[in-house]
Chains A and B, each alone.
Chain A
């Protein structure tokens, strides 16, 4: 608890307690805690002296600001046309099979959340997968599975 108080304190110190600072602060919380919990949004509202509804309304506009619990690692696969043409569906199948979750879900151990996203800007090297901030262009199903198993060897046994 003390640690999270420090987190907010630091973020506000860095980005200020005015509305301009809201998005960087929300990003900072998501980076550390994976999502924006209800109490955290209330605290931010208090610190910035705006209503908690405004914090929620703003956060819910952006795809990187989760207001529902997420896994520690977020796997994104681009679903837009170039990546679709390059075979993103095979990547999705491989990831779903490895992690035993569907797109949009989080593994039971909260280690991974798997989502599809709009264009990630790697159309010439599709399909592309991004895990957290790490980019994997021209990914193959085999390589995707390999990466996931490297991150969490427990999934190795499935193959």
Chain B
């Protein structure tokens, strides 16, 4: 690896060949402002805010897109550079809807910060904001407001590079250039998975989640309503970022207290239904293995694929409509929770299901769509009344006037508030797989999965596609057909990796028995409903927090969750049983591919 030496603002810096001027500047703590640049995405060089002066160059140079070269002498803060940057920010502001006071991203907007930093007077240039821009609110998950768009194309690159969905594109040219869907279709008609990655990569308020928190406040204020909230595993490791805590801080106890203080009647844990998912999905996997290996049934599909991620499910429905048989029939933990909240919970608590408002707090934009899928009403009611993002919860806590930092910790309420470490790790890529293996291996062999401290490291981490295999030995008699079988599993996150895995499945060449897929890079901790910004470093810290949370739990295997044992005893009877089938399992819909 050859090294390049250059001088930035009179300071010498050495970087690897291939690194950009921006990388080099970062190394010596020179911050160059950026807008179209995002660590997750390929270089664009569009916005031009990061221009610097390279000695000997007639023009300024975009530092994000220009490789560092030996002997370069660079200045990042000359009057010429400053004037250009100020002009560029002013130009962006001139085509922007500057009603910041009515913008959801106010105070967390990169254009707003840059304008403040460069002190842009709004009158500097005449407004060229196009009149009559309407906000697209057709989707349950995502709102698109072109009047706030800075045309950095981060969303387009996200949709292409991270997700390989390409629902968003750039259309037109010159003054008419904009971010579009196919033929300007509304988002709900586009091939959009609702993953929300575009939202967390958008620097402004052009792409945001559809927001439902006002409805939830209404319900909380309505005495007749019994509001229950369930919180997904990765919310607790990211919420703190919105409330002044360092990245990767676990705020589980304070979060629960805050929600109770806000007036939520019962604060419960999605981890409970994550544990339940493991029992149902694990049983389904073992059943499929038996049907294939023993009964040789060709209608039963292997590998089986997880179905807890609604972004992935919609992706599969669009892109691989002929292969939906591989998806587990299990609903996601959110929807299992919803269905049980208005049946089991209602029954045990003696509350009429129509009076229950079931709200879920998710790191996710796609959960909003999922909650509104027409079939998600097996309780006889809308199973989940509102799906909020981590960001919406953060805002509600701020609105409530609580001093979050001073809150004491408290525990989740019961029923459906108890969970295990296995439920917690659902939040990170590989977590569902690890949780499933912890339980399935023990069910089959009666012994703990053969990894130190139950930590199955091969399925953890940020590799796009991870694989592992476990040789099953010492089966209990009932599972003797699995004796000696090398159980092969794979884990993928980011839909671009999902596509790679699915292409293999579609060709019939997949070597795996069980595959976990999460639509978002890093899994739910990097979800489209998480605090902004999200990038690799932040994802890693949140992931670390997830595994710390797991290690701190007294019980770390789903089948040991006492509330899970109880619900099977008192309500569900058996995994994959009739009640389960009705409430906890679902079917999928073929959607148009192009």
Instruction: Judge A-B direct contact (beta carbons within 8 Å).
Output: yes
Q: Tell me, in angstroms, the Cα distance from A66 to B311 when the chains sit together.
A: 33
Q: Which of B171, B173, B191 contacts A51 (CB 8 A)?
A: B191
Residues of chain A within 8 A (CB-CB) of B451 are: none
B188 at the interface (CB under 8 A from A): no
| A41 contacts B593, C-beta separation under 8 Å | no
Closest B residue to A60 by CB, please name it.
B171
Closest A residue to B165 by CB, please name it.
A51
Residues of chain B within 8 A (CB-CB) of A50 are: 166
Closest A residue to B156 by CB, please name it.
A57
Q: Tell me, in angstroms, the Cα distance from A67 to B170 when the chains sit together.
A: 14
| A51 contacts B172, C-beta separation under 8 Å | no
* B152-183 Cβ-contact flags toward A at 8 Å (1 or 0): 00000000000001111111110000001111
Shortest Cβ distance from A92 into chain B, in angstroms?
22
| A53 contacts B167, C-beta separation under 8 Å | yes
Q: Tell me, in angstroms, the Cα distance from A38 to B592 when the chains sit together.
A: 14
A45 at the interface (CB under 8 A from B): yes
Residues of chain B within 8 A (CB-CB) of A46 are: 593-594
| A53 contacts B172, C-beta separation under 8 Å | no
| B173 contacts A53, C-beta separation under 8 Å | no
Shortest Cβ distance from A7 into chain B, in angstroms?
18
Q: Tell me, in angstroms, the Cα distance from A17 to B4 when the chains sit together.
A: 42
B472 at the interface (CB under 8 A from A): no
Residues of chain B within 8 A (CB-CB) of A38 are: 183
Residue picked from A38, A45, A51, A67, most chain B C-beta under 10 Å:
A51
Closest B residue to A43 by CB, please name it.
B594
Residues of chain B within 8 A (CB-CB) of A60 are: 171-173, 180
Residues of chain A within 8 A (CB-CB) of B165 are: 51
B190 at the interface (CB under 8 A from A): yes
Shortest Cβ distance from A17 into chain B, in angstroms?
14
Q: Tell me, in angstroms, the Cα distance from A51 to B171 when the chains sit together.
A: 14
| A56 contacts B169, C-beta separation under 8 Å | yes
Closest A residue to B593 by CB, please name it.
A46
| A51 contacts B183, C-beta separation under 8 Å | no
Q: Tell me, in angstroms, the Cα distance from A79 to B168 when the chains sit together.
A: 33
Q: Which of A41, A52, A55, A57 contacts B170 (CB 8 A)?
A: A57
A42-B594, A45-B594 given as contacts; is B182 within 8 A of A52 (CB)?
Answer: yes
| B594 contacts A52, C-beta separation under 8 Å | yes
Closest A residue to B176 by CB, please name it.
A60
Residue picked from B169, B172, B180, most chain A C-beta under 10 Å:
B169
Shortest Cβ distance from B6 into chain A, in angstroms?
36
| B173 contacts A61, C-beta separation under 8 Å | yes
A61-B172, A67-B183 given as contacts; is B191 within 8 A of A53 (CB)?
Answer: yes
Shortest Cβ distance from B501 into chain A, in angstroms?
17
Shortest Cβ distance from A58 into chain B, in angstroms?
8
Residues of chain A within 8 A (CB-CB) of B167 are: 51, 53
Q: Which of A41, A42, A45, A57 contacts B180 (CB 8 A)?
A: A57
| B593 contacts A53, C-beta separation under 8 Å | no
| B169 contacts A54, C-beta separation under 8 Å | yes
Q: Tell me, in angstroms, the Cα distance from A149 to B165 when the chains sit together.
A: 49
Q: Tell me, in angstroms, the Cα distance from A55 to B167 when the chains sit together.
A: 11
Shortest Cβ distance from A97 into chain B, in angstroms?
29
Q: Tell me, in angstroms, the Cα distance from A127 to B504 when the chains sit together.
A: 59
Closest A residue to B169 by CB, please name it.
A57
Shortest Cβ distance from A44 into chain B, in angstroms?
9
Residues of chain B within 8 A (CB-CB) of A67 are: 183
Q: Tell me, in angstroms, the Cα distance from A33 to B114 when the chains sit together.
A: 48
| A41 contacts B172, C-beta separation under 8 Å | no
Closest B residue to A38 by CB, please name it.
B183
Residue picked from A41, A46, A60, A61, most chain B C-beta under 10 Å:
A60
Residues of chain B within 8 A (CB-CB) of A42 are: 594
Shortest Cβ distance from A63 into chain B, in angstroms?
9
| B171 contacts A57, C-beta separation under 8 Å | yes
Q: Tell me, in angstroms, the Cα distance from A100 to B485 when the chains sit together.
A: 78
Shortest Cβ distance from B136 into chain A, in angstroms?
14
* A22-62 Cβ-contact flags toward B at 8 Å (1 or 0): 00000000000000001001100110001111111100110
* A4-34 Cβ-contact flags toward B at 8 Å (1 or 0): 0000000000000000000000000000000
| B180 contacts A51, C-beta separation under 8 Å | no
Shortest Cβ distance from B321 into chain A, in angstroms?
13
Residues of chain A within 8 A (CB-CB) of B170 are: 57
Q: Tell me, in angstroms, the Cα distance from A46 to B183 when the chains sit together.
A: 16
Shortest Cβ distance from B334 into chain A, in angstroms?
28
Q: Tell me, in angstroms, the Cα distance from A104 to B449 when the chains sit together.
A: 70
Residues of chain A within 8 A (CB-CB) of B181 are: 53
Q: Tell me, in angstroms, the Cα distance from A41 to B184 when the chains sit together.
A: 13
| B173 contacts A52, C-beta separation under 8 Å | no
Closest A residue to B173 by CB, please name it.
A61
Closest A residue to B184 by CB, please name it.
A56
Q: Tell me, in angstroms, the Cα distance from A54 to B180 when the chains sit together.
A: 10
| B182 contacts A56, C-beta separation under 8 Å | yes
* B190-221 Cβ-contact flags toward A at 8 Å (1 or 0): 11000000000000000000000000000000
Q: Which of A41, A53, A61 contacts B166 (CB 8 A)?
A: A53
User: Which of A100-146 touch B at CB < 8 Å?
Assistant: none
Closest B residue to A36 by CB, please name it.
B183
Residues of chain B within 8 A (CB-CB) of A51 are: 165-167, 169, 182, 191, 594
B contacts, CB < 8 Å to A: 165-173, 180-183, 190-191, 593-594
Excluding A42-B594, A45-B594, A51-B594, 14 further A-B contacts by CB distance (< 8 Å) are: A51-B165, A51-B169, A53-B167, A53-B168, A54-B166, A56-B169, A56-B180, A56-B183, A57-B169, A57-B171, A60-B171, A60-B173, A60-B180, A61-B171
A contacts, CB < 8 Å to B: 38, 41-42, 45-46, 50-57, 60-61, 67
Nearest first, the 10 closest Cβ-Cβ pairs linking A and B are: A57-B169, A51-B166, A53-B169, A60-B171, A53-B182, A52-B182, A52-B594, A45-B594, A42-B594, A57-B171
Question: Could you show 6 A-B contacts with beta carbons less than 8 Å apart?
Answer: A38-B183, A51-B166, A52-B183, A56-B183, A57-B169, A57-B180
